[in-house]
Amino acid sequence: MLGAALACAPRPSPVVAPRIPPEELATRLAEADRLASRGCYLCLKEAGAAYASLLELSDDQVLARKALENYLMLVVREVELRLPDSGAREAADELQAKVASSYALYFEALDALRRAPEAPQYVRGDQLYVPPEQRAVRTKLAAELEQEWPASAMKAYFYLAMALNAGRVAELKPQLEGILSTFSDDLSLKYRTLAFLPLFSMAASRDLIGQETGFGEVHFLVGQRSVMNGDLAGAYRELARAHELLPDSASISFVRANILMSYARYAEALAGFDRVLAAGPDDAALLGKGKALSYLKRHDEAIAVLDELLTDLRISPGEKYYWRAWNHLQKKESQPAYDDATAALKAMRNNQVYNLAGMAAFNLNHLVEARDYFDNALQMDRADCDSQRYLAQIDSFERSWKSAASRFSQAAACYDGAIVRMRGELARYEDDITGLSNSLIETKRAEIKDAEALRANSASNAAVATKNAGLTR
């Protein structure tokens, strides 16, 4: 009987030891929180790894919520900087199933921020112009996010990002101090405020870099502002550091590639534009690639790129036609160059386009039309020596020797002035001991050599035209 009773008695439940002691969980969670509060993308990734290791040891709801919010921060930063998908979005989706509160609004906000607008956004004064259809969606989301921002730094970041991208700057300004003071230890909010152009501060940016050296994003902001201030050397340094920290950011690669173009480092710029295009379609980067190939004298490749660009005429059609015309002209393909140059003139008008159209028309012996184009080019830029010289040549063909002599003399004087200016530029480049300007030095020396030859040619032709006009004894 006793044996039977013992057999029927309930067995005691096994005691399961926690996978991580509460004290250790608290300590490691605090360290993960500290990493997340540093705000930079690399910091968020490091925090993500710390949260993930804890999730393997604990089902704590506070931990799961913080890990989810960190993943959402990673995703929004990847959207903003055009970084590759790190898997944070998928991880956030998986954690949402384990967290009691819903983050559906934040997933919706990510989709709205990721969606490329059909029309461009740009800053006008202290406001951001946003296409009406995008503004309506983002304004609605910003109003919903506004109700939740006091709950966490991540929710405040999403509110800031959406409000700024909806162009709600006037409404947001009175709240900024309160938001930043509520989460004074979180550097991501300070960064997001600086990332909006009208709110940028160089001093605050330097301070933020001092607090967190891994903030490649802030180096990117400083580089962009340096470009606007005309400090290309400073921009190059900042963007080089940003690229070093965040080499996969398409946004950083694009701006850096344009700086490299300014320094005539075309092969490096081409590689930069290719990195941007590897991240996805990008009309501006593809146009940059076309220009880089043009300067590298890879004309067939440049034309192929421009052919692709010209399948969409909604953005910069004049510039696209101009560069294809320029490449055709280098290949001595005058008719396609003429066709593209005249098409470019329908979309944009400056002395360079008129000059290009004039050269193509001149090569086709359309002299009356060419004269009109060169006249227009000179009206826009009196220092356009080439247009002056071509007009002299047209005068010569028409045996208008007196006019030809005058124009050739003016062209020679124009080249004299251009050579003086270019020698001054060359001297400044040669003062650069960093090596950054080496390609500019080489390019400028070649330009001076060409200008000297054209000056000599113009002076010689002026003497001949003078003689033919009977102006010499």
SS3 percent helix, strand, coil of the chain, rounded to 5, is 75, 0, 25
Predicted TM-score (pTM) of this structure: 0.89
Of 247, 185, 252, 256, the residue nearest 42 (C-alpha):
247
pLDDT at 123 over 50: no
CB 250 within 8 A of CB 275: yes
Give the whole-number percent of the chain exceeding pLDDT 90.
Answer: 85
pLDDT at 199 (0 to 100): 84
What are the DSSP calls for 105-151, one per residue?
A: HHHHHHHHHHSPPSS--EEETTEEE--HHHHHHHHHHHHHHHTTGGG
344-372 as b/e: b if 16+ CB within 10 A: bbeeeeebbbbbbbbbbbbbeebbebbbe
Q: How confident is the model at residue 191 (pLDDT cuts 50, 70, 90)?
A: very high
Q: How confident is the model at residue 169 (pLDDT cuts 50, 70, 90)?
A: confident
pLDDT at 121 (0 to 100): 40
pLDDT at 124 over 90: no
Of 188, 255, 202, the residue nearest 42 (C-alpha):
188
Fold of 310-378: 1.25.40
pLDDT at 126 over 60: no
How far is 65 from 370, CA to CA, in rounded Å?
Answer: 70
pLDDT tens track for 304-350: 999 999 999 999 999 999 999 999 999 999 999 999 999 999 999 99
Domain range 200-293, its CATH number among 1.10.357.140, 1.25.40.10, 1.10.630.10, 3.30.70.1140? 1.25.40.10
How far is 369 from 345, CA to CA, in rounded Å?
Answer: 13
pLDDT tens track for 129-142: 566 777 788 999 99
Of 374, 370, 396, 368, the residue nearest 386 (C-alpha):
374
- Please tell me which residue, 205 or 172, carries the higher pLDDT value: 205
Domain extents in the chain: 200-293, 310-378, 382-473
**Straight-line distance from the first to the last Cα atom of the chain, in angstroms, rounded to the nearest whole number:** 147
